[in-house]
Amino acid sequence: MGGNRPMDRSRRKKSEMTEATYSPSRSHSSSLGHLSSNEKIDICRGLFAFLVVGAHAVDISWVIHPEVPGQLSGWLHDLLLYVAAAGVYWVIGFFAISGYCIQLSVKRQIEGNAFPLRHYLLARLSRILPLYYLALLLAVVIERFMASARPSCWPQGVNVNGLIAQLFIIQNLTWTYGSFAPSWSITNEMFYYLFYGVVVCVALRFGIRPTSLGMSLCLVLALILDWVYFFEYRTGYVRSPGLLFGLGIIWFQGTLVAEHREWLRSSQAACKTSALWPLVLIMAMAMWYSQGIHLEVVYLVLGVAFTLMLMRFVVTESRRVKPVDRGRAGALIRLLGLASYPTYLFHGPIVMLTGSAILKWHLVSDWRLTWFILTSVGIGSGVLLGYLAERPIMAWRAGYLKHLKQSRMVPAHGGAAPILGIQQ
């Protein structure tokens, strides 16, 4: 038996070499590993934007073919209206993801008890405003172009007041401008960015966790404003800020997940609970489908679902140090991330213009084909703009922020960099 050992070792070595040579798919598969949480977020951002387009395409298709809703059975009509056409589900997902990503950015920028508020605000504004104003300009042009054959969807605010609200990004508190109506959530995003920047500065000064302070303020203000709205003054001036802070609760849930990532990774309870996120999402959809639950409650349940989703991304994330080159899969993930914001911003005007052409020249008689065309145009234009607009803007922004950071770290006078404009 002892005389056979060298031969056994030789056979094992040959077998291992053969397996490595003739099993490239297995080797390639293991190299891919698990997706990182950032990669999963890019996928979600792209898919959520596409789902919003599909939801709005249902609304516009029914406007172009007004006879359709009456021809559908009750359960199918409600399923399409309250599930397929409810783009707000995915907007809530954007809020949770936004809070998560912003907290990671804030955490990297905090140095001791100092936070570079100016740099933070410039980073946020340079991220959201260039493409936003480009999309708003397109919306103004398209609204004028399709005035003679405009589908009666999102008709409000096609005037100076609506345009001014959009210019100052307060449209969710007043009026959205016509086909740019899907941009209502940008008001919330901009407010949370500004609000959280101030919260971080105050929290650091008093030794409080910024995420806890922000969440507490949103909870208190949302409860007060909702109580005033439901029991005292039922006006939009109370409801709009109440909804703003109410949705802010969901945004800050995302920040809490980012802050407690390490603890979540070591928690068995978090691992088991986070796996339930698809069921909670389905429950929220069922609640809205039933029309027996107030919409604000549905929002909160959706917030729980997407918070659990983020937790799931964290607890299942690989601890690898180096990023993995995923080839075509990686390119597709990056494409989804790039296409997300332009798809969300531009699809309203572009889809409405397409619908106007279908309505004016009676191009399509089947609403399902109309829906398919509108959805394809909205998603396709978003993907194209991801390359033509979002990618160069992001490249410019990266260079701008790098220069800004260098100038902050090494000021011209040679001394310590000022924090929040105050010389240290």
- Run of H or E residues at 39: helix 37-64
CA triple 328-385-57, angle to 5 deg:
100
Query: From CA 287, how far away is CA 270, in angstroms rounded?
Result: 25
pLDDT of amino acid 413:
43
User: Which residues face 111 on adjacent strands?
Assistant: 114
CA distances for 109 relative to 106, 197, 201, 408, angstroms: 5, 11, 12, 12
Does residue 27 lie in a domain region?
no
Residue 138 lies in a domain: yes
Give the C-alpha separation, 388 to 394, whole Å: 11
* Domain annotation covers residue 360: yes
Is 143 part of any domain?
yes
Spatial CA neighbour of 368 closest among 52, 48, 51, 72: 72
237 within some domain: yes
Radius of gyration of the chain (CA): 25
Using an 8 Å Cβ cutoff, are 193 and 248 in contact?
no
75 vs 414 pLDDT, higher one:
75
Quote the CA–CA distance of 384 and 382 in Å, as a whole number: 5
Instruction: Single out the residue of 402, 302, 378 nearest to residue 49, CA to CA.
Output: 378
Instruction: Say how many domains are in the chain.
Output: 1
Q: Give pTM, 2 decimals.
A: 0.88
* 10-30 b/e (C-beta count within 10 Å ≥ 16 → b): eeeeeeeeeeeeeeeeeeeee
Please provide the average confidence, as pLDDT, over all residues in the chain. Answer: 89
Summarize the confidence of residues 54-59 as an average pLDDT.
Answer: 98
Tens-place pLDDT, residues 128-142 = 999 999 999 999 999
Does some domain include residue 88? yes
Find the angle CA(68)-CA(74)-CA(80) to the nearest 5 degrees.
65
Residue 410: its pLDDT value, please? Answer: 55
pLDDT band for position 324 (50/70/90)? confident
Amino acid 299: pLDDT: 97
**Alpha carbon distance 338, 42 (integer Å):** 8
Domain contains 303: yes
pLDDT in tens, 238-277: 999 999 999 999 999 999 999 999 999 999 999 999 999 9
Instruction: Give me the pLDDT at residue 400, please.
Output: 92
* CB distance 181 to 168 below 8 Å: no
- In this prediction, residue 186 has a pLDDT band, given cuts at 50, 70 and 90, of very high
Write out the residue range of the structural domain in which residue 82 sits: 35-319+327-409
Cα separations in angstroms, 400 against 119, 256, 341, 356, 420: 11, 29, 20, 40, 19
Query: In whole angstroms, what is the distance from residue 391 CA to residue 394 CA?
Result: 5
pLDDT at residue 320 in the model: 65
Angle at 297 between CA 292 and CA 300, to 5 degrees: 145
Q: Report if residue 11 sits inside a domain.
A: no
Contacts (Cβ under 8 Å, ≥6 apart) of 58: 80, 81, 84, 85, 371
Per-residue pLDDT averaged across 183-198, rounded? 97
